[in-house]
Each structure stands twice: as structure tokens, then as C-alpha cells.
Structure 1
């Protein structure tokens, strides 16, 4: 009877292929959320490997249309393909419980390379395989929007909207911001300035409720969970220990969980991926000539420093100086007419300092600081980016904070529910 089982799995595999959408046809008909994920897997934070494993184990619940690699520096689409390889080993067991899971080869077909460098001051650069895939998928004829879940830099989304702004009404973005916003601040500020009518969930801190254990019982804490439910289960379970020693973080997973539970059309409602409030502005401060720790800004705000120097005969957006902030370094750019600029976004409440370095004497050794405070977006400023009616972010109610993380309790309250649901899927691999 072994040959019958093999044929049966083959038929189910064919069905599974049909449920994954390649974006290469002319029309999409599906009752599941259409999903494209942009991940910085292989970059500085290994939690994306954990989130990618979780995504593939739930891929029967959505219509996956794209997996884009968008790390800064290290990392590439090979890191996504490596996880798909592990999924392929577990696929027969998983398929027996979830016959609509996509086949490994169909997943490979929708894996694309995105941007690996931060956008320059203007917020966009040139098209990538990833940004072009976003456009292609968004333009598919469908009654449903394309959910773009961004786990890292938002450069490919900014590039796609620059190249094809008409897709804006076809997509909905859930972005894990916070630290990613700090590194993607040029692309973000382009979106906020030029595409304020984008449908956006900007989760700068809410997502931390997924892994902050302050209110969890022992069974649902990250290290205990691994030992009880993941360890040794399938190829993916054996690999999981390579990331944070198995201690679950998965800070990007709330973007998918948002679509698995609750009403995704209403970000203000309850869901595993958090509850959010509308914001009509994005905090922004521009400092001409510098700032000091006496200058108070909102956490997650866009900070711009503009400096004066010589008029140069070089292309605009050329990187000509560096600024070190909190022991990390960003490029500063030539804006023309002897003006220079750099952007930054503080990822937490802090008193920060900066120092510049450059071969241009006027830009070398400039020092200053700032003080960032909760909640976001804070008090209005005349230079704030004014947003449209569908931009949502972390709830500012102090009762919803975990420590200094705004809105985190709107996710942590569901911790037992989403982790027990995932535990049931891990049992498939026993």
C-alpha cells in the first residue's frame, strides 16, 4: 500500500501548488488573505529565521504571493531558501494535517531578492527584483488587497510606490518599525511625505508584546516553550535552537498573526497581532545647525539635522559625511547649494548624543544631542508629516505599556492563545 500513499501525497501536493499564487496570471480568486512578506532574514537579528519557520507552518491559512529578502548588508534570499529546504523535509508530515500547504518548489518560485542597502536621503534609489515583484503582485486583478508584511527595511515598498504609485490603493502594509524604522528612516520619511494616504499599520513597539514575558506563566515563556513544544520536532524544530538558543522571540510574527485572528479590516479591534489607533501625523523635527539634549522629541520621530558647508559640484544625495549616534553610524548627504543633511529615528526613550566626521572641515567634529520621550507621536510640531485616514500605530494609553514599550499589552494578552495554537501544529511533527 506504500505506492498508494505516495500517489496520495503527490495529489495533495498538486492541490497545494494550486493554492499558492505566483502573481504571473491575470486574476486571483481566493477567500484567504493575499500575503507578501519582506524580511531582513540573515541580517543583524536572527529572529527572522524563527518567524519564517512560523510563517511556513501557517502557510495554509493565507495565499502566499511573495517572499522578499531585504536585509542591510549580510543576508540574501538564500537564507529564505534554506528555511524552505527545512520545510521541504517536514512537508509530508505537515501536509497530512494541512493539505493546503504550498509545495516547497512553489515557495522557491516566489522568493525574490530585494534591496540590501538603506535608501539615500530622498528615500528611494533603483528598482530591485523585490520591488518589481511587489508591483506585479499588487496589479493582479483581485477583490482582495495584497497584504505586504514588512519585517525589516521598508525600502522595497518605498521603491515600488515611487515606481508605480497607482498600486497604493491595492496594498495594505503592516510594518514592524521601531529599530527597523531607525535604519529605514529615509525610505519611511519618503512614504510619510509623498504617500500619506497609504494604508499602513506602523507597529513601532506593539510587536514586543509577542516576546516580552513579564505577564506569562512559565509554560508560555520563551525558553520553556521551546523545550516543551519545539525541541526535536522535525527538521525545522531541530534548526530552531540555532536562533537565540531556541528562546522564542519572533518579533516580526505579529504581522502574520494579525491576519490569523480578528478582523484585519479593523486595526482598532482585537487580534493576535495587536490593536492600534489612528494617527493623523507622524512626528518630525528639523534642526538647523544642530541640537542639544535640551531638545525633546518623540520616540520614533523623524529627526533631521541640516548643516551648512561649501558648495560642491557633486550629485545630490552623495554621501559626504558620517554621523555617529549611540555608537552606530549613518551616512549624511549633500542636498545642494552648500546644504547637508542626515535623518535618524530614536527607537526608545533615551538621552542621545551625536558626533560627525568628514573630510570636509565644516562637517567634521560637530557634536550635539537630543532627548526622546514616550508616547509616540507626542506633541504636535509644525513640521510633522500629515497623514491620511488609514495610518495606524501603537496605542498611547499608559495602561497598555509593558515597561516602556507602547501598546505591547494589546498583543501579550493573547500570548497563551497564539502559542497554544502553534504548539498544536508542532505536534504534527512528532
Structure 2
């Protein structure tokens, strides 16, 4: 009797559908995102590169470019010293040592030879220098100018300064001015701060009016060097020595063994949010930076430029360069007053709310480096009863939600969690929705007004080791 009772509890929470054989032709995820990485090679860039390379099955990598920043440039002294550009080649070679094992888990992983062909050296000789037409700048320009009839945008991630990107865009402006609008329409930018003067001095006055979707992030800093000061304790455990050593640093192949760390603990990956934003998790955040996803959530501040939500009404967005010197994160880093600490925690929440799942995803990819398919875990596949994820509904209308046909490639049990993401929608009424049942119903609140939006997240996690999660976002637009 007791055993029957326990099983009934288990299966009221988890569902189980599918085996690896059944899903062999069913597990193709969403289309890959086109990306260009521009990096100044700091220690946290090198840590981010390990995770990035393990995530390249999700991307079409168009370029990996050395650049400088206000912090590191060729000829810089002491802390400003520039890490030799060959580190990218070395990391790709380490990736090559685990590449064939990664293929066991996803045939879409690019070859080391392909990645090496995309590695170029950009503007590295000074802080913010963008006049020289370096190989890296010309490579970016050529990529953006190529008329390949591919409708997918190119996401350019500035892990360091914007100077090599500025040089590339200056080449286009000077040599192909008639193509500037076409190129701008192709670009999406994710900047980890403005780490030199190039954005304000050249890109903003010459390109921003083309309405290029541009994220300039400060909330990334909770994954950088201050993580152990600002992350909630429940999240910090995924970054501490015991977890990192067990799941990443030891016994996971050559690439993970090279991961820069702090005596076995997480050191920093300040640049990682830029490509977490580009992962196809199902959160649809690439449609709109205000939706929120693994790379954070942002608000539009001018043109099509998006920055972090204000910590409080007393804060004002910068009129010029947004970076280390006027960072809200740095302003709040040393807060000790309980009210200020709570405000800082809320400020970083758009990013840290996902970080346990982000770290488990990293752990699974680390295992793909050394385990065969049957011994590792893989992401669940969500199947909903809806023909569209964009719905129209009236106040008081009931919407039936059903994720019971979701599947897992490893045959694991699946747990479904439905929840309303109030910050992402425009409806701001006092209404809460949450359910742990695969089949549930959502009743549109009676006080919702025409045109307001409500975001419902379907979160599906398996019970594998490490547990993996994927999402579907349903956006309800209210009408009368």
C-alpha cells in the first residue's frame, strides 16, 4: 500500500514519454543562431570560451575575432597586458580532442578545422583603436556584406571592446555606403558593457539610427568576478568549488581541464550571457530583449538600444558610454545595508533566476566530452497542444494547456512547471498563476485591458543527471 501511494505521488509530478529510438528522428531542435564573437582574451573570456565551444552545436559560428578593450590591449602593462592571440587556436585544439565524442551527442557540432577557419585577429594594438583595417575587421565586414539570402540575422557578441566591430562598419561605410541599411538590417548586437570608446565615438552616430537591435548589458556582472558577493545563496552552490570540481574541472576531458578557475571554484564568465541569449532554449528572448531569457532581460532606452531595468526610480540611464566607470553593478557591489542588498538582488534577478539550469546545462555538455550517448543526459523536447504560441483571449476566458505529450530522448521522467512571467508582459495586475500539472488551464484575469500581454512559461525538466530543462513561452494578447 505504501509503495503504491509513493508511486502515485511520483507520477502526479512526472510524466514519461519516449525513448532514444523513438525520438531518433524527432529531436531536431530550433534553427541554429548565426554568431560572431569578439573577445579581448581576459581570463573570464577564456572561461566563457570553454562553455561557448561546448555550445557550438547550437550556433552557426561566423567568426571568432581577437580584439582589444579599455582593460587589455597589445602593449598594455601589468593587469592591462594582452593575452597572446594564439589562445583561441589553443582552445579550439583542446575542443578538437573531445570533438568526436561530442558528435555522439549532436552531429551538428562544427569541426575544429571549421572553427579555426573562422578565427581572425582584429584591432588589438590600442584601447579603442578602430582606424586600422585589420584582417578581423575585414572578415566581419565581408561576412555582413555577403548576400547569402539567409534570412537569419547575425548576432555580434562584444566580449571586449567594440573597436574591431567599429573598424568593420567603417570599412562598409567608406567602401559600400549604399549597403549600410542592408547590413544594419542583418545585425544584432550584444555588448558586455561598452569596453572602449568606439561605440560612442563611431558606431552610435553613424549606425544607431538604423535601429539595429542592441543590448548593452550590466547585469552580466553577476556571472563575472563579483558572483560570490551578489548571487543568492541558493544559486551560489552551483558555482562553488565542490560543484565546479565534480561537474566541470575533473574527469571531463582536455577542454574542461583548461577552464580558468579560482582554486577549483568558479572564477568569472562575464561574457557568457551574450551567447546564453543566443541559445535556442524555447524562451523566445531573441524576438525581443524585453522578454527575458538566459542572457537577462532588458528595456528599451533609445532608438533600438536596450539596457538593464532600473534598480530604482532614482537611477538614470547614462547619456554616454555605459561601462565600468558608471556601472550600476559596480555602484552596488559593496552594499551591506539590507534594503540595498535586496535591491541589488532584484536587479540581477532577470539573469540569476535561470543560473541553476544554466550550470546544469554546462555540466551535461561537460559529460558529453567523455561519455557515450546512453550514459549521458540530453534535453527534453516540449510538445504542447497549441497550434500557435501567440494567442488572443478575452478577460475571464479559459485557455487549456497541455504538455503531456512532451518527450525525453533518454526516456527520463519529465516534470512540468507552468508559471506566469509578470515582468515580461504588459499586464501588471495583482494576479498569480503557477501549476505543476502537465495538463492545466489558465484563466485570463478579469482586470486585464485590451492590448495587454501576459507571458506564460512552460518549463519542462527531466530527472536525468544532471537534470536538463527546456521551455516554451506562450504570449497572450488581451482583447474584448
TM-score range, shorter chain: 0.5 to 0.7
Name which of 269, 279, 286 aligns with 1:250: 269
Aligned equivalent of 1:269: 291
Does the Cα contact within 8 Å between 1:275 and 1:411 map onto a contact in 2?
A: yes
1:195 to 189, 194, 207: 207
Could you tell me which residue of structure 1 aligns to residue 376 of structure 2? none
Partner residue in 2 for 1:25: none
1:56 corresponds to 2:53: yes
Aligned equivalents of 2:367, 2:33: Cα separation in 1: 25
How far apart, in 1, do the equivalents of 2:275 and 2:102 lie?
A: 19
Q: Who is 1:184 aligned against?
A: 196
Aligned residue pairs, count: 296
- Does 61-70 or 242-251 show the bigger shift? 242-251
User: Contact 2:43–2:260 (CA<8 Å) still a contact in 1?
Assistant: no
With normalisation by structure 1, the TM-score equals: 0.62
Give 1:114-153 correspondences, 5 Å limit.
114-118=122-126, 124-140=130-146, 141=148, 142-153=150-161
Q: Aligned with 1:278: secondary structure?
A: strand
Match of 2:446 in 1: none
CA deviation map 1:243-264 (0-9, x unaligned)? 6755242110101100113220
Unaligned runs of 5+ in 2: 1-29, 75-81, 174-179, 306-313, 333-338, 371-480
SS in 2 for 1:409: helix
- What do residues 108-158 of structure 1 show as CA deviations (whole Å, max 9, x unaligned)? 1110001113466xx731211111111111123211111111100100111
Give me the whole-angstrom Cα distance separating, in 2, the residues matched to 1:89 and 1:100: 17
Q: Partner of 1:411 in structure 2?
A: 351
Return the alpha-carbon distance in structure 1 between the equivalents of residues 261 and 211 of structure 2.
37
Q: Deviations over 1:62-96 (max 9, x none)?
A: 10111001132223431100101111111122121
Name the structure 1 match of 2:32: 32
Contact 1:90 1:429 in 2 (8 A): yes
Superposed, 1:206-285 pairs within 5 Å as 206-211=219-224, 212-213=227-228, 214-217=231-234, 219-232=237-250, 233-241=252-260, 245-260=264-279, 261=281, 262-263=283-284, 264-280=286-302
Partner of 1:102: 110
Shift of 1:61: 0.5
SS of the equivalent of 1:195 reads: helix
Tell me by how many angstroms 1:175 deviates. Answer: 0.8
| DSSP-derived class of the 1:77 partner | coil
2:218 corresponds to which of 199, 202, 205: 205
